[in-house]
Structure 1
Amino acid sequence: MFSAVLDSIPLALYRGAADPPARRSRWLAMRMPRWLGLLPFRTIDLVRVADTLLALILFLTTYDRTVNTGVPMALVYVSALGVAVPLVLRDRRPLAAWRSSLVLLPAGVWVSFETGVRYESNPYTPEMVISYLLVAYALAVRCDRRITGTAWAVSVLATWIIFPNSVPLGSIMVGAVMLFGYNVRLRRSATERLVLEERRSQEAMGAQAVLEERARIARELHDVVAHHMSVIAIQAEAVPLKAAGDPAQLEEGLAGIRALSLEAIAQLRQVLGVLRDEEGRTDTAPQPGLAQVEDLIANARAAGLSVLVKRPESLEGVPQAVGMSAYRIVQESLSNAMRHAPGATVVLDIGRDDHGVRLHITNGPGSSPARSPGAGHGLVGMRERAALLGGTLEAGPVPVGGFQVTAVLPIGRGSA
């Protein structure tokens, strides 16, 4: 602790530096009128203007009091500058202002003694007190607490050396001003930390939103690509065998593959439309819903998958978010059946009531080995879709063989 005190002395006297000034309130930084636009500065700092005017007043007051007292003119100017220069410097360089005030203060006290002030009375003029207290406040606001504490101790020591009788009052006055300035510094620091934390929180929320958007786009891309590519791969394998050299059937099969490819490209464009075009417009094409489930079933049947469907007569009134999630869940379930259980029969049961949409997709064991292993992203994406709507999704193998997916997607305000 003693070494810390010793280290703070050179910081206050010659080595330390003050913090940069805080940002001015708009009431303290006035814009220059247009007719003064030729000046090198565009705003008027009212605090610095006030310091300059006060410094001029104190300079003239001190000069007027001492000019005709027989004191050498050099001392008169030094004593007048001793109360003016620190005020001019206190906003730009508060620590330099305090040091200059401390160095020039003895000249003012000497002039006070030379002009007839008795030793028993107070040698400090009002100009000295005003100037020093303002400089002490600026130092406490802009400097570290070690520098502030050392500056107070040096001020008390200088007061004791110059005029011991003024030590109690001088130490209290300087200490109160510095304590007030240090409290202002703490409040400003707390405000800056709060603003910084808010900025970091906003950046974190923005980053989280970006991650969620990336996850959503990745989920959409996975559903679109996995389904269509699976159907296209199966049809590309089955069409030559089915055609058996018949050009008409071969042409029909290739036309189906082309139609699936164009549909996949169209859906990819819809997904990527959220990234905005060059003119800043978003893609407003409608997203797929339960009305397009029939197209999925037709594509699956064309790829050789047997699909049995049970659905209500009308699915009107289903919110877009629920319809799209249901579409994607059915799409992923059919894609999984084609990849992992080729030749299996899929039973698709779609239910609807006032509370939500229920999906039950079951497939039996495949008649041939699985064509490709799965990475598990599809099941994760389906669960995420259900969870975002406040619903549930259960998926797992059936004891007798095969796989089933059961999803409940509620219809609520957040789904509209």
Structure 2
Amino acid sequence: MFSAAAAVRPFALALFQGEADPPPRSRRLSLGLPRRLAALLPVRRIALVQAADVMTAWVLFGTTFSQLADWNNGALPRVWDGCIFLSAVAVSAPVALRDRWPLAAWRVALVLLPVPVHVTAALDGSDAPYTPGMVVTYLLVIYSVAVRCDRRIALAVWLITVLGLWIADRGSAPLGAVITGVAVLFGYNVRVRRNATARLLLEERRSRQAESAQAVLEERARIARELHDVVAHHMSVIAIQAEAVPLKAAGDPAQLEAGLAEIRSLSLEAIAELRQVLGVLRDQDGRTDTAPQPGLDRVGELVANARAAGLSVLVEQPEPVAGVPPAIGLSAYRIVQESLSNAMRHAPGATVSVGISRESGAVRLRVVNGPGSSPGGPPGAGQGLAGMRERAALLGGELEAAGVEGGGFQVTARLPIEETA
């Protein structure tokens, strides 16, 4: 529905209330001043666009003043010299203002340019009372408005311009409307492209930030998985050993000392693995722990620890699994480690079968435990199973974990290996 207020609003913005966007700033379009000169001036860098506008305004002032003064010397009657000076100011001042205040520069031009138009008409007597300086000034100013102001304001400025051209000289008004319209369209096109570029840069920045945040979350999840596997396994073994050693020793100092030595060995092993996991954190000298991560070649250590904790572990490995990439070996090691830890916590004294094989371009794991000989600990939060599934998924593999008949539990995993030609 047509609204008179909505129709008048763009003209009110153009003439009185509207404001332009801030000027784009780039260090490539500015020039740093020498230190000695910068110490004497309130600015340290000069904007090249503003400097060019000031120089252009100075040239327009000089050419307009000289041209009108020459015409005035041969005219009868003569025009007051103050009008010549004011005309030169009217032509040059909007150009000096257009970069910082484009809409204010257009308003100044709208108010002051009738003076040089009247003076030119009185001295030249031509049909079109416009000098080249006036044309250049107005085109620069109206272009700046189209680049830095809303399209409604730019359209209102162009319509007011057409009206002013028709009042000043009806004969040249159509051509002036076309020329100023081209300037407005060109400026609006530049504005659209600038806004699109700014939005694209903003989206790219947001995308980079999102990717960085995602990378941080993935790294935190990786470190959390490693810490969980290391701490859960070793602490479970140490806790069981600490409970079992006094019972086995039965007051025998030699057996007690041997049991404590084993607990100490497990503690040192846990500390060593924690140092490897946290090797990404550098010390003040920039050093990191570059020791190799555990792989399938160290599964025997896990089995020995589990047996020492009271589990009966049977390893089913037809042949040594060699040539496995470090990432696959580490994940397989952690899956076996977490499976044995769960068996120790929830099925103490159970019989566990660990199967490791390589077939069809993949490493296959199968860890099955029967019911424990004594009640196990309370159910956990499920972080261990979630971590095992994440490890398998990150490598493009699969992992299944479920209970079996008779009260046991089974973990099966398939970790694919990319074959190299």
User: TM-score scaled by structure 1?
Assistant: 0.93
What amino acid sits opposite 2:361 in the alignment?
Answer: H
1:193 pairs, out of 180, 195, 199, with 199
- Aligned counterpart, 2:115: 107
SS at match of 1:307: strand
Structure 1 residues 43 and 409: alpha-carbon distance in aligned structure 2, compared to 1, 3 A threshold: same
User: Who is 1:14 aligned against?
Assistant: 16
1:312·1:352 contact (CA, 8 Å) conserved in 2?
no
Q: Cα–Cα, structure 1 residues 67 and 30, in superposed 2: closer, same or farther, change >3 Å?
A: same
Q: How many residues are matched? A: 411
- 1:77: how far off? 0.9
**Letter aligned with residue 392 of structure 2:** A
Per the alignment, residue 55 of structure 1 pairs with 57
Measure the CA separation in 2 of the matches of 1:300 and 1:90: 81
CA distance in 2, matches of 1:165, 1:2: 31
Matches within 5 A, 1:40-189: 40=41, 41-67=43-69, 69=72, 70-117=78-125, 121-189=127-195
State whether residues 351 and 370 of structure 2, in contact with CA within 8 Å, keep that contact through their aligned partners in structure 1: yes
Cα 1:401–1:10, aligned 2, differ >3 Å: closer, same or farther?
Answer: same
Q: In structure 2, what is the Cα distance between the partners aligned to 1:179 and 1:31?
A: 34
What is the CA distance between 1:401 and its match in structure 2? 3.0
Query: Root-mean-square deviation (CA), in Å?
Result: 2.1
Q: What is the CA deviation profile of residues 274-294 of structure 1, one whole-angstrom value per residue up to 9, with x for unaligned ones?
A: 132223443312111112111
Is 2:102–2:145's contact at 8 Å kept on the other side of the alignment? yes
Whichever residue aligns with residue 22 of structure 1, its letter is P
Distance 1:158 1:25 in 2: 39
- Give 1:308-387 correspondences, 5 Å limit: 308-353=314-359, 355-387=361-393
Pairwise CA distance, 1:353: 4.0
What are the superposed Cα offsets for residues 326-348 of structure 1, whole Å, 9 maximum, x if unpaired?
Answer: 11000000001111111110011
Distance 1:229 1:372 in 2: 16
- CA drift of 1:35 comes to 8.5
**What displacement does 1:236 show?**
1.4
The answer on whether the counterparts of 2:99 and 2:144 sit within 8 Å (CA) in structure 1 is yes
Match of 1:67, SS state, is helix
Offset of residue 32 of structure 1: 5.0
Task: Report the alpha carbon displacement of residue 160 of structure 1 after superposing the two structures with TM.
Answer: 2.2
Q: 1:5 aligns with which of 4, 7, 10?
A: 7
Identity %: 64
CA shift for structure 1 position 397: 1.0
**How far apart are residue 72 of structure 1 and its match?**
1.2
Q: Comparing 205-214 with 395-404, which one deviates more in the overlay?
A: 395-404
Q: Structure 1's 324 and 171: CA in aligned 2 closer, same or farther, altered over 3 A?
A: same
Name the CA distance, whole Å, in 1 between partners of 2:170 and 2:267: 96
Name the CA distance, whole Å, in 1 between partners of 2:285 and 2:150: 52
Which position in structure 2 is the counterpart of 1:403?
A: 409
CA contact (8 A) 2:361 2:419 kept: no
CA distance in 2 between counterparts of 1:192 and 1:124 reads 38
Paired with 1:386 and 1:53, the residues of 2 have a C-alpha distance of: 69
TM score, norm. by length of structure 2? 0.92
Gap runs ≥5 in structure 2: 73-77
Contact 1:310 1:349 in 2 (8 A): yes
1:113 deviates by: 2.5
**Partner residue in 1 for 2:396:** 390
Check whether the contact 1:329–1:382 (CA below 8 A) recurs between aligned residues.
yes
Which residue is 2:267 aligned to?
A: 261
Q: Which amino acid counterpart does residue 272 of structure 2 have in structure 1?
A: A
Q: Which runs of at least 4 in structure 1 moved beyond 4 Å after TM superposition? A: 30-39, 41-44
Q: Where does structure 1 lack aligned partners over 5 or more consecutive residues?
A: none
Query: Any idea what the Cα deviations from partners look like across 1:226-260, whole Å, max 9, x if unmatched?
Result: 11111111111111111111122112112212221
* Letter in structure 2 aligned against 1:88: A
Q: Read off the aligned partner of 2:112 and give its amino acid letter.
A: L
